[in-house]
């Protein structure tokens, strides 16, 4: 009996312990830029996401007046007649549209307009909300009244409100700016922002409104800043770079719709917004200055893209016509790092409160130009030649496939993107090992395991596309990341994509961090990114290589300041894997720590199971030789002092 049971146990745990012998000496330093974040406004990552503004369609930007669609997110209260009009006296030239509101005769009680926010509005007791709008009466009269600004549940129960006097004495625009202090938190995020007049007192009046705004407290209290819970989650990864402003969303469907830095800076009244590439209007409230301040707040450097002459709809600007776009890129870079004494773009930056240059080492020339490689040959050439002459210290990143086509000047940086299956990621952890070691370096700028179905990587969830990262996808990515760490002599940066996703309006799945109007849901892949980023070394230590076609992957680094050896292990299958580590150091601590993320193959953190899989810490026995068992579907970070 006993004999049989033991044989059965031996069969049930078939894995033979792998022995990993660690080298005594480092092979290369690890770049401080290795782990960071790729951002673009997709799935309301920016508007309705990281950017804290709570009102959707706040300024009627880029909509067609006199259409129902122009009223997106706005609703009439108590019979008010609403339409978006091209105002004869717009609040600014950048914001030509206004909301025209007419109070019909015969109404009593509050009559006005509500905004549903970005799929809800969180109302929290103790928070101060700043609400503002501009109004004008198109016809001057002796009318005097008041307007009530508030927050209410979608059932119409008031959560907080305040009233301010208004007058029709002039037809000029007047700013109303109030604060709201709710004393109770709303039970859900199904709430509305409301602006109303008294129906009886204002009977027959017509009022125009422009650029409404509602801000909760922001991250680090930055005016026009970031949503605290999302910003805090992103900061907890300690990213060292932030790729901005996209992604496809840089490009525009047409040349005119491209992202233009100068349309995103200065007062909100001077930002026209644009039709983004992901199916909704971008307010550009989250503009270049906001991005740069955000980079400083998180102590990360921008990897900033410039538009390089290609629109996603398929238009390439002819070589002879590139000059104004090259100049716009020069101005954009000068806004970030130029001298206010010699550059008007830099002087604009100084006038916005940042006379000192920001940090900028990397500029990406376009995005995914493997979609237009034939024109990238001249676009890359002309942009990079002109920009290098202006900015000799900046590293320019090419976005075509590596070495295809051959570009001149020869790129010293490439941005490489891959969306694949978990198995592909595990089996490509040696992707960069065979790359020639020369002056060309790589940015793994977008990667994610997104489907189990290799023949349908961009298919629907029914074909295997993940809605949220799973432990299977996250361990695949972690396996790949051990390869990025090993190859960090040539891979200088890497970022999962997409970063953020509003679950009520996804354009793409899976994503690193999901959220809704009330909460943030960090995925299993987020915890992988965080484990790698918070447990960096400054030197890579070679060790016995994993089997490229195997299922268990590791990398070993050293943090010299603390004399710690940090071992990252990804087990990409459902069988626990014993490993024996052999360390050649004179002194090795007898205990270390293990941070372990593990869960079932299909386990995901979702709005209904937000904390299903989170890293757990424990103390483990260590020594010059020690064993560790990597649980099924796990990512482990082992840390011990050894020298
Ligand atoms: C409030 O928001 C809900 C959506 O959450 C919407 O259906 C409703 O029309 C809105 N009401 C007002 C007055 O804005
Ligand atoms: C409203 O006042 C707040 C607090 O003074 C300020 O931060 C904000 O910029 C003002 N809003 C507008 C639109 O002027
Ligand atoms: C931005 O600058 C370009 C020229 O580079 C100009 O054509 C465009 O009108 C400007 N946009 C805004 C909103 O100022
Ligand atoms: C590095 O090697 C690759 C592959 O051989 C080559 O295509 C590329 O031009 C080289 N880079 C430099 C800067 O020489
Ligand atoms: C994988 O994707 C292909 C191509 O879309 C599809 O035909 C096939 O049914 C999918 N397989 C599974 C198991 O979903
Ligand atoms: C686990 O350990 C890491 C590294 O020491 C630490 O940063 C983290 O806060 C710990 N987590 C918990 C839940 O204790």
For 120, the 3-state DSSP assignment is strand
Residue 292 is assigned to a structural domain of this protein: no
- Beta bridge partners of residue 74, listed in sequence order: 115
Taking the C-alpha atoms of residue 381 and residue 398, their distance in angstroms, rounded to an integer, is 10
Q: Which atom of ligand 5 is nearest to the CA of 463?
A: 14
**Pair 84, 71: CB distance under 8 Å:** yes
Residue 253 is assigned to a structural domain of this protein: yes
Taking the C-alpha atoms of residue 410 and residue 384, their distance in angstroms, rounded to an integer, is 10
Give the end of a domain, one of 384, 411, 438: 411
What are the tokens at 221? 């209290």
- Please name which of 533, 551, 554 lies closest in space to residue 542, comparing C-alpha atoms: 554
Quick one: which ligand is closest to 155's CA? Answer: 1
Kindly list the protein residues whose Cβ atom lies closer than 6 A to any atom of ligand 2.
130, 132, 175, 177, 213, 223
- For the chain, the 3-state helix, strand and coil shares in percent, each to the nearest 5, are 20, 35, 45
Q: In this structure, what DSSP letter does residue 320 have?
A: G
Residue 614 is assigned to a structural domain of this protein: yes
Q: Which atom of ligand 6 is nearest to the CA of 535?
A: 4
Does 419 share its domain with 326? no
Distance 485 CA to ligand 2 centre (A): 46
Domain count of the fold of the chain: 3
**Pair 518, 122: CB distance under 8 Å:** yes
Cβ-proximal residues to 622 (8 Å cutoff; 6+ apart), any chain: 588, 589, 590, 591, 592, 638, 640
Taking the C-alpha atoms of residue 322 and residue 332, their distance in angstroms, rounded to an integer, is 15
Cβ-proximal residues to 166 (8 Å cutoff; 6+ apart), any chain: 135, 144, 145, 146, 147, 174, 176, 197, 207
Distance 389 CA to ligand 1 centre (A): 54
Cβ-proximal residues to 425 (8 Å cutoff; 6+ apart), any chain: 447, 449, 476, 477, 479, 480
Does 466 share its domain with 612? yes
Residue 289 is assigned to a structural domain of this protein: no
The position carrying tokens 């830095």 is: 261
Cβ-proximal residues to 442 (8 Å cutoff; 6+ apart), any chain: 402, 413, 414, 416, 432, 435, 490, 491, 492
H or E stretch at 520: strand 520-522
Taking the C-alpha atoms of residue 199 and residue 74, their distance in angstroms, rounded to an integer, is 19
Q: What is the dihedral of CA 406, 407, 413, 419, to 10 degrees?
A: -60
Q: Which atom of ligand 3 is nearest to the CA of 260?
A: 1
CB of 29 within 6 A of ligand 5: the answer is no
Give the end of a domain, one of 411, 427, 443: 411
Domain range for 454? 1-30+413-643
For ligand 1, atom 2, name the residue with the nearest CA: 116
CB of 611 within 6 A of ligand 6: the answer is no
CATH assignment at residue 206: 2.60.120.260
- Please name which of 536, 435, 438, 436 lies closest in space to residue 481, comparing C-alpha atoms: 536
Q: In this structure, what DSSP letter does residue 339 have?
A: -
CB of 639 within 6 A of ligand 6: the answer is no
Exposed e or buried b per residue across 311-340, where buried means at least 16 C-beta atoms within 10 angstroms of its C-beta: bbeebbbeeeebeebbebbbbbbbbbbbeb
Does 537 share its domain with 572? yes
Q: How far is CA 102 from the centre of its chain?
A: 40
Residue 288 is assigned to a structural domain of this protein: no
- Beta bridge partners of residue 621, listed in sequence order: 591
Does 396 share its domain with 478? no
Distance 453 CA to ligand 5 centre (A): 6
Quick one: which ligand is closest to 611's CA? Answer: 6
- Please name which of 207, 184, 170, 237 lies closest in space to residue 82, comparing C-alpha atoms: 207
Distance 335 CA to ligand 3 centre (A): 14
Angle between helices 228-236 and 288-297 (to 10 degrees): 50
For ligand 5, atom 10, name the residue with the nearest CA: 463
For 47, the 3-state DSSP assignment is strand
Q: What are phi and psi of 51, to 5 degrees?
A: -75, 125
Does 622 share its domain with 581? yes
For ligand 3, atom 12, name the residue with the nearest CA: 263
Give the end of a domain, one of 378, 411, 444: 411
Quick one: which ligand is closest to 93's CA? Answer: 3
Does 139 share its domain with 266? no
* 3-class SS letters over 156-176: CCEEEEEEEEEECCCCCCEEE
Taking the C-alpha atoms of residue 529 and residue 546, their distance in angstroms, rounded to an integer, is 21
Does 530 share its domain with 588? yes
CATH assignment at residue 454: 2.60.40.1180
Does 576 share its domain with 490? yes
Residue 572 is assigned to a structural domain of this protein: yes
pLDDT at 277: 97
Kindly list the protein residues whose Cβ atom lies closer than 6 A to any atom of ligand 3.
260, 262-263, 272, 328
Distance 127 CA to ligand 2 centre (A): 16
Distance 312 CA to ligand 3 centre (A): 20
Residue 35 is assigned to a structural domain of this protein: no
Kindly list the protein residues whose Cβ atom lies closer than 6 A to any atom of ligand 4.
403, 410, 412, 436, 438-440
Quick one: which ligand is closest to 258's CA? Answer: 3
- Beta bridge partners of residue 38, listed in sequence order: 243
Distance 130 CA to ligand 1 centre (A): 20
Quick one: which ligand is closest to 331's CA? Answer: 3
Q: Which atom of ligand 3 is nearest to the CA of 325?
A: 5
Distance 422 CA to ligand 5 centre (A): 16
Does 323 share its domain with 427? no
Q: What are phi and psi of 397, to 5 degrees?
A: -105, 130
CB of 619 within 6 A of ligand 6: the answer is no
Q: Which atom of ligand 6 is nearest to the CA of 616?
A: 13
Angle between helices 323-337 and 344-351 (to 10 degrees): 40
According to DSSP H, which parts of 487-538 are helical? 524-534
Taking the C-alpha atoms of residue 185 and residue 163, their distance in angstroms, rounded to an integer, is 21
Asked whether the CA dihedral 351, 354, 359, 363 is positive or negative, the reply is negative
The position carrying tokens 């996703």 is: 501
Angle between helices 288-297 and 323-337 (to 10 degrees): 40
Does 442 share its domain with 465? yes
Quick one: which ligand is closest to 637's CA? Answer: 6
Q: Enumerate residue ranges in the chain where pLDDT < 70.
A: 1-15
CATH assignment at residue 407: 3.20.20.80
Residue 290 is assigned to a structural domain of this protein: no
Q: In this structure, what DSSP letter does residue 352 have?
A: T
Does 158 share its domain with 268? no
Does 463 share its domain with 564? yes
Query: Beta 110-115 vs 18-21: how paired, if at all?
Result: unpaired
Q: In this structure, what DSSP letter does residue 612 have?
A: S
**Pair 562, 472: CB distance under 8 Å:** no
């Amino acid at each position: 009996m006993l004999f049989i049971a033991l044989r059965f146990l031996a069969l049930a745990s078939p894995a033979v312990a792998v022995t990993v012998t660690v080298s005594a000496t480092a092979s290369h330093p690890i770049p401080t830029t290795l782990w960071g974040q790729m951002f673009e406004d997709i799935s309301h990552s920016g508007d309705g996401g990281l950017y804290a503004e709570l009102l959707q369609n706040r300024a009627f930007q880029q909509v067609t007046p006199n259409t129902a669609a122009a009223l997106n997110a706005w609703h009439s209260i108590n019979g008010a007649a609403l339409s978006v009009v091209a105002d004869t006296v717009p609040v600014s030239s950048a914001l030509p549209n206004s909301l025209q509101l007419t109070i019909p005769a015969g109404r009593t009680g509050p009559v006005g307009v509500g905004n549903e926010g970005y799929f809800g509005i969180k109302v929290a007791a103790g928070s101060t909300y700043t609400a503002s709008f501009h109004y004008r009466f198109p016809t001057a009269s002796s009318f005097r009244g008041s307007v009530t600004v508030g927050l209410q549940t979608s059932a119409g129960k008031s959560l907080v409100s305040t009233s301010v006097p208004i007058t029709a004495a002039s037809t000029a625009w007047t700013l109303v700016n109030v604060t709201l202090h709710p004393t109770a938190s709303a039970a859900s995020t199904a709430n509305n922002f409301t602006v109303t007049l008294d129906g009886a007192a204002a009977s027959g009046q017509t009022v125009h409104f422009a650029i409404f705004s509602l801000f909760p407290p922001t991250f680090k209290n930055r005016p026009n800043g970031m949503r605290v819970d999302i910003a805090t989650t992103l900061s907890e990864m300690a990213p060292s770079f932030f790729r901005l402003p996209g992604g496809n969303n840089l490009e525009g469907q047409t040349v005119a719709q491209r992202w233009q830095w100068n349309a995103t800076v200065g007062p909100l009244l001077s930002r026209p917004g644009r039709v983004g590439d992901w199916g909704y209007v971008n307010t550009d409230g989250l503009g270049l200055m906001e991005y740069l301040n955000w980079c400083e707040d998180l102590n990360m450097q921008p990897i900033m893209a410039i538009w390089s002459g290609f629109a996603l709809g398929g238009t390439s600007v002819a070589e002879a016509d590139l000059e104004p776009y090259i100049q716009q890129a020069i101005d954009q870079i000068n806004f970030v790092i130029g001298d206010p004494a010699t550059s008007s773009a830099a002087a604009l930056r100084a006038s916005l409160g940042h006379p000192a240059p920001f940090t900028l080492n990397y500029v990406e020339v376009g995005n995914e130009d493997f979609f237009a490689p034939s024109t990238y040959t001249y676009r890359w050439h002309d942009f990079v030649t002109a920009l290098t002459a202006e900015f000799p210290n900046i590293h320019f990143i090419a976005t075509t496939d590596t070495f295809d086509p051959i570009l001149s000047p020869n790129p010293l940086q490439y941005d490489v993107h891959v969306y694949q299956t978990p198995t592909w990621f595990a089996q490509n952890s040696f992707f960069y090992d065979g790359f020639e070691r020369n002056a060309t370096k790589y940015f793994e700028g977008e990667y994610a395991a997104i489907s189990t179905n290799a023949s349908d990587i961009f298919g629907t969830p029914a074909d295997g596309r993940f809605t949220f990262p799973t432990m299977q996808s996250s361990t695949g990515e972690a396996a790949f990341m051990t390869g990025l760490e090993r190859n960090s002599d040539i891979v200088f940066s890497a970022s999962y994509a997409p970063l953020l996703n509003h679950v009520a309006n996804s354009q793409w799945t899976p994503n690193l961090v999901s959220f809704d109007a009330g909460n943030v849901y960090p995925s299993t892949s987020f915890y992988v990114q965080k484990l790698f980023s918070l447990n960096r070394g400054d030197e890579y230590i070679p060790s016995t290589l994993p089997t490229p076609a195997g299922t268990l992957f590791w990398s070993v680094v050293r943090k010299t300041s603390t004399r710690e050896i940090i071992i990252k292990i990804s087990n990409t299958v459902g069988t626990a894997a014993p490993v024996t580590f052999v360390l050649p150091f004179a002194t090795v601590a007898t205990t270390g720590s293990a941070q372990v993320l593990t869960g079932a193959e299909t386990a995901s953190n979702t709005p209904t199971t937000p904390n299903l899989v989170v890293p757990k810490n424990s103390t483990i026995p260590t020594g010059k030789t020690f064993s560790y068992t990597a649980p099924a579907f796990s990512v482990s970070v082992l840390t011990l002092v050894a020298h």
